Structure 1
Amino acid sequence: MEITAAKTINQRLMLRIAVGCMFFLAGICFASWASRIASIQQSLGLSDAALGGVLFTLPVGLMLSLPFAGWVISKTGSRNILIAAVITYGVALVGLGSAQHVWQLIACLLCFGFASNTVNISVNTQAVIAEKMYDKPIMASFHGLWSLAGFAGAGIGTFMIGKNIIPQHHFILILIVMIAGVIYSSRYLDHDKNGGDSGPIFVMPDNSLIKLGIIAFCSLMCEGAMFDWSVIYFKKVILADGAWIGAGYTAFMLTMASGRFIADWFAHRFGLKRILQISGLLTATGLIIAVAFPYLYTAMAGFLLVGFGVSSVVPMVYSAAGRSKTMSPGVALAAVSTIGFIGFLVGPPVIGFIAGATGSLRYSFMLIAAMGISVAVVSTKAKL
């Protein structure tokens, strides 16, 4: 009995490490691309407007993968799909760095976006399996590793730029790291056997999953707006000096990453519903502070709260979706991701539209505060 128990403990530990490794690989892959966008823009001679049009291919690839990923995972299991998707993700990254023409960049971005979300859904399915082996939440810590990888990828990108290493060589190195990580992790990933499911490619989510999707929509709308507009807010509203323009974004990213490493403990201690309610209120409070007091230190404090607020929402929602009683984890995650990702896409342009219509970016940031309040309200009504 003791040997069996020890074997079970070792298996769940190795699964947790393997899944965490895959989250890290996904994060460093995306951050590597983000860190070299300017280099690729310069090498292809793209204007800002042209680059904006090209970058729209990425969310197109993401959206195309949403129904496919959930369906294929429900048929074949998440392990093999995750392995294939991570390798494809890395190969597409090398393609981005090797593109000599705009059409090549567009084609690779489409594949990159498709692989990115396929990795997202399959790795979260593995995370749900790992979490079921524990008597406490662990999902947020996996997402924390993704955020940590973002910092590592940005740092490596900065080093590569400083050493004048071209994106192609930079990305080949990242691909080698990803292949090594996959070889190690593949031995310990769970062999979930979901094959033989003859269900449809898309199933309308039930009421509980729709509510989870709405919560994800509101939170990801906040995340998308903060990613795209926080630096501009500090430049145009806070009127920060050059060295401090990125301070708000840095503050937001730091607390979003660190918050994910402590969110599991809070969820275990206080429950999922309470954590989502507090998260929504923190997001709204932070943005209200940044809008009401548009000064450097108060805005930084507000953005710190926003980072804590959004840090645990998506991991917790994914964890709840993966426990759906009406759908397989892969299909449920795909359904919630579809609703949530729409918020990530529409958030930034809506903020820009409101800012243009009102002539003030401050007013548009109140919409993000309203999304934070919506997270708290919908979480209160949802059965979690």
Structure 2
Amino acid sequence: MNSAALPTTKKHVLRIAVGAVFFVAGLIFASWASRIATIQQELGLNDAQLGGMLFSIPVGLMLSLPFSGWIITKVGSRTVLAFALVAYSITLAGLGSAAHVYQLIACLVLFGFASNAVNISVNTQAVAAEQLYKRPILASFHGLWSLAGFTGAGIGTLMIGKGITPLYHFCIIMLLAMAGTLFSYRYLAHDKGPADDTPAFAWPDRSLFKLGIIAFCSLICEGAMFDWSVIYFKKIVLAPGAWIGAGYTAFMCTMATGRFVADYFAHRFGIKITLQLSGLLTATGLFVAVLFPHLYTAILGFMLVGFGVSSVVPLIYSTAGKSATMPAGMALAAVSTIGFAGFLAGPPIIGFLAGAFSLRVSFTLIAVMGLCVTAIATKAKLN
């Protein structure tokens, strides 16, 4: 795609289309996250067993890594994104229909496989869109993903309140996701290039590896909020039934808000300071929720976590895309792969720690990851 020749109107249309698929992807994941506690109860799983089940998602991620990178170089991120989103939505419905543990495991593996393909291809589209503008816009795309998470959490809370089963809930989301994908597909960037011998994945150099580790640490915290916030409010905070989703909703609200202002804040104060502050906010929020596990203090803590994690991944991806040592696409794929592994591996680790100790201990250890973001960002070379 020749970005220089692209008319201004079409640039805006591309941005809207990419934003729409970010929203669809976020809605799918948030729908699953909002019903984890329900599925856990229906299948009679304890916290440790649930943690084991959630490890199926990283398994799908690892299986997807070589395939996703390879297929994007062959057919382009536009085509991969369309097929991956359809598969993502179908496996969501499969999660709702799982009546046995082995069925849930199989669906979670496929869910992880599709989610990674979506993650890599949609961020490739985002980088292509950002290159058409003279200012950072990547964080706003992630803001739409977070806004979708907030929307999905609200829908999930409504579905729980109405007694609607996960299967019917997820089928509704599947149809909405397919409609959104169909609408956006024709406007996405045609990025299929001539075949060459460029590897689909390359190990990042030292600077990019540090970016990946920062994303990894932050996404462990973010993944914990997605998969365990409802359970934390139910079992530790002992929130009333109508309030068990309040922490998750508060987290998603502040994360979405933070991402819509992240580009401006980073431009004003610099990426390093933004990442340092992000790590401190994340750790502070988690410590508040652990030390004061009461309804309003826990909500406040989860709000701080949302602000903390909001800017990390968009800024890391944007910085990686400007790498001077690797092509933007390869750098993005390498860094996002390292980071997304934390997003998927964190929740099952919390489950095992909760089974061995308690959820409060798990969340304390996750808070340390926020401090790691600050520490690594302090030492990394960031512009």
TM superposition score category, shorter chain reference: 0.7 to 0.9
Quote the Cα distance in structure 2 between the aligned partners of 1:195 and 1:140: 30
Q: Give unpaired runs (5+ residues) of structure 1.
A: none
> Are the aligned partners of 1:121 and 1:330 in contact in 2 as well (CA < 8 Å)?
no
Instruction: Quote the residue 1:48 is aligned against.
Output: 45
Instruction: Quote the residue 1:378 is aligned against.
Output: 376
Identical aligned pairs, as a percentage?
A: 69
Quote the Cα distance in structure 1 between the aligned partners of 2:353 and 2:102: 33
For residues 127 and 5 of structure 1, do their structure 2 counterparts lie closer, same or farther at Cα, with a shift above 3 Å needed?
closer
Q: Give unpaired runs (5+ residues) of structure 2.
A: none
Alignment map for 1:325-364 (pairs within 5 Å): 325-348=324-347
Alignment map for 1:111-150 (pairs within 5 Å): 111-150=110-149
Instruction: Quote the residue 1:217 is aligned against.
Output: 216
- The offset of 1:310, in angstroms, is 0.7
Quote the Cα distance in structure 2 between the aligned partners of 1:6 and 1:200: 29
Instruction: Quote the residue 2:268 is aligned against.
Output: 269
TM-score normalised according to structure 1 size: 0.84
Quote the Cα distance in structure 1 between the aligned partners of 2:175 and 2:243: 36
Instruction: Quote the residue 2:11 is aligned against.
Output: 12
For residues 156 and 236 of structure 1, do their structure 2 counterparts lie closer, same or farther at Cα, with a shift above 3 Å needed?
closer
- The offset of 1:130, in angstroms, is 0.9
Quote the Cα distance in structure 1 between the aligned partners of 2:211 and 2:124: 16
Alignment map for 1:1-384 (pairs within 5 Å): 8-37=7-36, 46-49=43-46, 53-99=52-98, 103-160=102-159, 167-231=166-230, 246-291=245-290, 296-348=295-347, 365-384=363-382
Quote the Cα distance in structure 2 between the aligned partners of 1:309 and 1:372: 8
> Are the aligned partners of 1:75 and 1:197 in contact in 2 as well (CA < 8 Å)?
no
For residues 98 and 292 of structure 1, do their structure 2 counterparts lie closer, same or farther at Cα, with a shift above 3 Å needed?
closer
Quote the Cα distance in structure 2 between the aligned partners of 1:167 and 1:235: 18
> Are the aligned partners of 1:321 and 1:329 in contact in 2 as well (CA < 8 Å)?
yes
Q: Which moved more, 1:280-289 or 1:155-164?
A: 155-164
Q: Which moved more, 1:196-205 or 1:311-320?
A: 196-205
Quote the Cα distance in structure 2 between the aligned partners of 1:39 and 1:233: 14
Quote the Cα distance in structure 2 between the aligned partners of 1:244 and 1:171: 22
Q: Which moved more, 1:292-301 or 1:221-230?
A: 292-301
- The offset of 1:210, in angstroms, is 0.3
Aligned length: 378
Aligned residues: CA RMSD? 3.3
- The offset of 1:124, in angstroms, is 0.6
> Are the aligned partners of 1:122 and 1:330 in contact in 2 as well (CA < 8 Å)?
no
- The offset of 1:279, in angstroms, is 0.9
Quote the Cα distance in structure 1 between the aligned partners of 2:163 and 2:233: 30
For residues 341 and 185 of structure 1, do their structure 2 counterparts lie closer, same or farther at Cα, with a shift above 3 Å needed?
closer
For residues 116 and 207 of structure 1, do their structure 2 counterparts lie closer, same or farther at Cα, with a shift above 3 Å needed?
same
> Are the aligned partners of 1:70 and 1:330 in contact in 2 as well (CA < 8 Å)?
no
For residues 12 and 248 of structure 1, do their structure 2 counterparts lie closer, same or farther at Cα, with a shift above 3 Å needed?
same
Quote the Cα distance in structure 2 between the aligned partners of 1:109 and 1:330: 27
> Are the aligned partners of 1:71 and 1:331 in contact in 2 as well (CA < 8 Å)?
no
The amino acid that maps onto 1:23 is: F
